[in-house]
């Protein structure tokens, strides 16, 4: 399996996303959960966020999961389907509830951030090998999963180990590490996530989470620990993102549009093409969901066969769409507008600043200082 998308094996669906989605309660005011007077109901889940963003960007997407046979499950399925996502692969569980969670308005990275999960024993935690149809899971050109699923239960971990075992006919497997230490009560998360990532074809990981989970600092160290995936995307926060690609010589070593390229040591003595693109300046409303949006933008550009620098820029733009709204999901720019911004020269990309409402702006309204 390489880092490219096989259009012959899986011609019908672009992406299948597997994972738990929960009903999310967003605070009406900043402050401690104990002090927040009311919450607004929305939806949240790493994989379903990616599914919704891709569908909103015009791709055919299926979300596969389990929800309870309850009102929250109804809401999740209806809300995700409203984005244009196919939810026919979602199973209803009459014995287990749909997961929910509450969070504060502060950045997840700060000590003031609080999240209260009510997901133990949820319907999604009962996902297991044999409980889901491979006709559903392998129906797309890409199967996107995250490390969160592996933390839900022993059965979910067994399923993830099965999916990250390379097998003939498997679609391109996209894996977002999504290290959530609080979900791994036995402390095994770091080791397990590294193991799962090695079985993927495309891996997304934040530089900060790699340092926290694995004690690795910098993209080169992360690549050395993860030589197996054909494509490794290292997200560097406000500094930007870097993609390491095996067998991509000539496609990203010389790039423009804000990118820097080079050739490094590959996992088996071959050459990696290394491409970096700086992040955009964004007036952040809420940071939650930006990583999922980045993955969606990168996957969207991958499905279109775009070069490395363009894939990274599309990731940054999709992340900016989510960073400038209160919830986990932001309306992406139109494909034409996104492509126009991706094609900016280095100087224009470097001075671009995006704020709330930018995705609805016309060409004249998105300005550089």
Cα of 118 vs its chain's centroid, Å? 22
How many residues are given for the chain? 369
Spatial distance between the Cα atoms of 49 and 169, rounded to a whole number of angstroms? 26
Contact 222, 236 (CB under 8 A): no
The candidate with the shortest Cα–Cα distance to 145, out of 130, 162, 163, is 163
Please say whether the beta carbons of 264 and 272 come within 8 A. Answer: yes
**Which 3 state secondary structure label does DSSP give 89?**
coil
How far is it, in rounded angstroms, from Cα 363 to Cα 369?
Answer: 15
Cα-to-chain-centroid distance, residue 90: 19
Q: Is 292 a catalytic residue?
A: yes
Dihedrals phi, psi of 183, to nearest 5 degrees:
-85, -15
Catalytic residue among 292, 328, 339, 343: 292
* CA 128 from centroid of its chain's CA atoms: 22
Nearest CA among 339, 319, 338, 337 for reference residue 329: 319
CA distances from 328 to 31, 38, 120, 127, 292 (A): 19, 18, 22, 24, 9
Tokens coding 25: 């309660």
As a whole number of Å, the end-to-end CA separation of the chain is 44
- Catalytic (active-site) positions: 292
């Amino acid at each position: 399996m390489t880092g490219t998308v096989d259009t012959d094996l899986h011609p019908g669906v672009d992406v299948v996303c597997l994972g738990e989605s929960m009903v999310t309660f967003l605070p009406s005011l900043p402050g401690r959960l104990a002090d927040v007077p009311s919450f607004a109901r929305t939806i949240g889940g790493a994989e379903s966020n990616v599914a919704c963003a891709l569908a909103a960007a015009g791709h055919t997407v299926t979300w596969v999961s389990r929800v309870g046979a309850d009102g929250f499950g109804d809401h999740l399925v209806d809300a995700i389907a409203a984005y244009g996502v196919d939810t026919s692969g979602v199973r209803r569980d009459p014995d287990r509830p749909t997961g929910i969670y509450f969070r504060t308005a502060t950045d997840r990275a700060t000590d003031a951030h609080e999240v209260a999960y009510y997901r133990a024993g949820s319907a999604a935690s009962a996902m297991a090998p044999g409980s889901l149809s491979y006709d559903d899971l392998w129906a797309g050109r890409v199967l996107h999963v995250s490390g969160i699923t592996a933390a839900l239960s022993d059965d979910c971990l067994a399923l993830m180990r099965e999916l990250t075992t390379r097998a003939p006919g498997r679609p391109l497997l996209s894996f977002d590490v999504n290290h959530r230490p609080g979900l791994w009560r036995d402390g095994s998360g770091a080791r397990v996530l590294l193991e799962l990532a090695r079985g993927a074809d495309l891996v997304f990981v934040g530089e900060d989470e790699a340092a926290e989970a694995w004690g690795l600092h910098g993209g080169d160290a992360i690549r050395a620990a993860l030589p197996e995936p054909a494509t490794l995307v290292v997200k560097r926060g406000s500094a930007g993102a870097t993609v390491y690609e095996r067998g991509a010589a000539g496609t990203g070593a010389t790039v423009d549009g804000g990118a820097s390229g080079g050739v490094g040591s590959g996992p088996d003595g071959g050459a990696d093409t290394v491409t970096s693109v700086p992040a955009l300046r964004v007036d952040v409303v809420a940071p939650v969901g930006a990583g999922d949006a980045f993955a969606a933008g990168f996957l969207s550009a991958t499905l279109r066969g775009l070069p490395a620098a363009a894939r990274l820029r599309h990731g940054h733009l999709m992340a900016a769409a989510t960073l400038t709204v209160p919830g986990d999901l932001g309306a992406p720019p139109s494909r034409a507008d996104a492509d126009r911004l991706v094609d900016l020269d280095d100087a224009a990309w470097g001075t671009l600043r995006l704020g709330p409402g930018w995705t609805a702006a016309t060409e004249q309204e998105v300005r550089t200082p």
